[in-house]
Structure 1
Amino acid sequence: MKLAVYNVENLFDRAKAMNLDSWEEGRPVLEKFAALNGLLGQIHYAPADKVRMVELLRDLGLEKSDTGPFVILRRNRGGLLRRPQAGGIVIEAEGRADWVGSLELRDEPVNEHAMRNTARVMMDLQADVLGVVEAESRPVLAAFNSEILPALGGTPFRHVMLIDGNDERGIDVGLMSGEDYPIGAMRSRVDDRLPSGQPVFSRDCPQFEVTTPGGETLLVLVNHLKSKGYGGTAASNAKRKAQAERIAAIYHELTDHGAAHVAVIGDFNDTPTSAPLAPLLEDTDLQDIFAHPAFDDGGYPGTYGLCNAANKIDYMLLSPSLFDRVRSGGVFRTGMWPGSRPKRWEAYPEVGRKADAGSDHAALWAEIDL
């Protein structure tokens, strides 16, 4: 069985604020979007809240219209605000119950070359079971599978599953598998809560049960942990640590009940020696595929960007029984931008510039005797 994981960074459409030339350009927009969404969701709007809402609406380009360059304010019913002819914004609602609507990020199409290179990676991996990170939705993932892969000569996956998570930006996690690897029972953990009442998982930690042709049961937990680039460092680290602790607890629950073949895969947004990931990497018997003697890292220790050690953020963690059955494994970077001075690896000819890369992330794969 070939198991793989790939952060596709969206398939057809991506939030415009996330599609800028650099993360630093989009980060302020995303942070202000999150702050305004948090204020709009409050039961009661205090005077100071209204002042801050107006500031954020202006910063997001919504002073004169409900459509800004990166954000749309949808007002279906009720009175949230008015814009006097003299200018400015007045928040009229006293709380969330006074209006019906939502604040949404605007999307734009993904670069066509990037989309096709994403498909090429998914085809060339030839995975029996593929964990997918940052896909917009199940209908989008299913359409990509049934339309784009065959158009490039690839074979679609027979099973495609994605459960909507907690992220409003359309970056969820899912699983695709071949004809002989049906997806059985699934479990979402979008409702797991921190003591503060906030969701543990930024997206989800879905658990997929896959049956192999030989009748073995594989449990796959696909993850996308809190990023470093969105919010304060301390808060981001605390969130990521809480997520790692919860995943570790889930893993222990599964193995305590007899599960033997468990894989925890995805983009963890942190390095192996980081404190936030310690509960998962040090306090469980899960083993990183990079540590297997049959694993080939392609000459670079990382999985993101130019793949330096500080960019090792994508993982395939295997329970001991799976790790012992690994026959080979590696990092697939052909769809990534290889740099130019000099090129670090061979990329598809279609990756003529950074924007054409299928993703900034490499895919990980392992052949497992299962």
Structure 2
Amino acid sequence: MSLRLATFNIENLLTRFDFTGFRNQTRRDRAMQLFEIRDEATYQALESARLVSSTDDTRQLSALAIADADADILCLQEVDNMAALQAFEYGYLFRMVGNGYRQKYLVEGNDSRGIDVAVIMREETRDGQRIELVDIKSHAALTYRDLHLFNADISVTNQPDDKIFKRDCLELDLRIGGKPFTLYVVHLKSMTNSRESTDARLGTMAIRHAELKAVRHIIESRFGAGKARDMNFAICGDMNDYQEKVLIDGDRRKGYTFTPVKEDESALKVLSADGFAINPMLRRDVMDRWTLYHSRGPQEQHLCQLDYIWLSPRLASLNQNQVPDIIRNGQPFRTIFPPGQAVDRYPRTGWDRPKASDHCPVVMTLDLE
């Protein structure tokens, strides 16, 4: 019996318009910057038209990427609310794959923009095994004080009674063909908005470190510190951190070079350092593990893995010959691929947009016992 499990940061699956760009130029879309707009009513009308017209292409591409992942269970990040999830699943995904995800779960979390983690599931796996939800639990209310995680590094940007998870850690207790499987879905603190003048990733790392300590605490409290590694669990989502990256140098005229680099510090060590959870992406070549292209212009470009399916040691051992797939066909044409990795982009993909997302779906087939 096998389960196809995927994670995907779908990038701003929203039901709301953001009109703050009229008064705040930094929030205004670049296309709108080309026009002189004198009053707010005109701005709102134009911004609504711009967003509606671009959203259809974007969500068709998102649905194509999900269809290619062909997962039985899909963990999503950056979902506005259940209404947005239902509208996307029925209006785009179901129409494209013809076999929808009838089970949908979302709990409102802590994100200041209102984006949440969610899970959609088929009623059965591809080989006919029933997928049952036994229980679902949000951990959004946990504070630093609750788990004794407040420290000097956290105090730079937070208070003791602030919530640990910037979105949530959504816990789903499942049975797949009668076999137990526990899923944890997260979207950790972004690598921006640091109050320090240093590297934004390092400046926000203490928050992600605490989030992952909390995830580990939740799992060990559930199963027992000495027993968790022998259970069927997976931790999925956008970790907003990495332990290695592929540096890109060069330009379109001269060509590019690609150099893999390991990071000395990463919040992900909370999971990996003692083998508490296994990153099966390491079974792929070091140049071919990336799920996101990052660029701040020609002088700062790299590829890295932000999207993860972490497996318990037991699950990793049961599936030691399985390798995750990465769906990159929805990446915009500006994404720079290492030699030999180029893929056919979906129809209507643009240079920067429309695109399926700035992230790539990650999917893996797992056997359960």
Separation of aligned partners in 1, 2:167 and 2:210 = 14
Higher relative contact order (CA 8 A, sep 6+): 2
Distance verdict in 2 for CA 1:16–1:344, change over 3 Å: farther
Which residue pairs with 1:51 in the alignment? none
Separation of aligned partners in 2, 1:147 and 1:255 = 39
Separation of aligned partners in 1, 2:232 and 2:335 = 41
AA aligned opposite 1:335: G
Distance verdict in 2 for CA 1:253–1:229, change over 3 Å: same
* Structure 1: 5+ residue stretches without partners: 28-63, 71-106
AA aligned opposite 1:216: K
Which residue pairs with 1:324 in the alignment? 317
Number of corresponding residues = 289
Secondary structure in 2 matching 1:335 = coil
Which residue pairs with 1:37 in the alignment? none
For the 8 Å contact 1:201–1:225, the answer to whether it is kept is: yes
Separation of aligned partners in 2, 1:340 and 1:229 = 21
Q: Check if 1:230 corresponds to 2:215.
A: no
Distance verdict in 2 for CA 1:237–1:8, change over 3 Å: same
1:219-368 to structure 2, matched below 5 A, reads 219-232=182-195, 233=200, 236-256=204-224, 260-272=231-243, 273=263, 274-292=265-283, 295=284, 300-305=288-293, 311-326=304-319, 327-339=322-334, 344-368=342-366
Separation of aligned partners in 2, 1:323 and 1:309 = 28
For the 8 Å contact 2:184–2:236, the answer to whether it is kept is: yes
Separation of aligned partners in 2, 1:193 and 1:168 = 16
Separation of aligned partners in 1, 2:166 and 2:90 = 28
Q: Check if 1:212 corresponds to 2:155.
A: no
Distance verdict in 2 for CA 1:253–1:69, change over 3 Å: farther
Which residue pairs with 1:158 in the alignment? 102
* Structure 2: 5+ residue stretches without partners: 29-38, 45-49, 125-130, 146-159, 244-262, 296-300
2:135 pairs with one of 143, 165, 185: 185
Normalised TM-score (structure 1) = 0.70
Secondary structure in 1 matching 2:169 = coil
Which residue pairs with 1:201 in the alignment? 165
Secondary structure in 2 matching 1:358 = coil
AA aligned opposite 1:365: V
Separation of aligned partners in 2, 1:348 and 1:202 = 33
Separation of aligned partners in 2, 1:158 and 1:228 = 34
Q: Which moved more, 1:352-361 or 1:138-147?
A: 138-147
Deviation, 1:68, is 12
1:169-200: per-residue Cα shift (whole Å, max 9, x none)? 13100111111212220111111001310000
Distance verdict in 2 for CA 1:261–1:18, change over 3 Å: farther
CA RMSD between the two structures = 3.2
Distance verdict in 2 for CA 1:289–1:154, change over 3 Å: farther
Q: Which moved more, 1:147-156 or 1:127-136?
A: 147-156
Separation of aligned partners in 1, 2:209 and 2:292 = 21
For the 8 Å contact 1:267–1:315, the answer to whether it is kept is: yes
Secondary structure in 2 matching 1:305 = strand
Normalised TM-score (structure 2) = 0.70
1:63-90: per-residue Cα shift (whole Å, max 9, x none)? x99x9979xxxxxxxxxxxxxxxxxxxx
Separation of aligned partners in 2, 1:334 and 1:304 = 12
Secondary structure in 2 matching 1:141 = helix
Separation of aligned partners in 2, 1:182 and 1:315 = 23
Deviation, 1:252, is 2.0
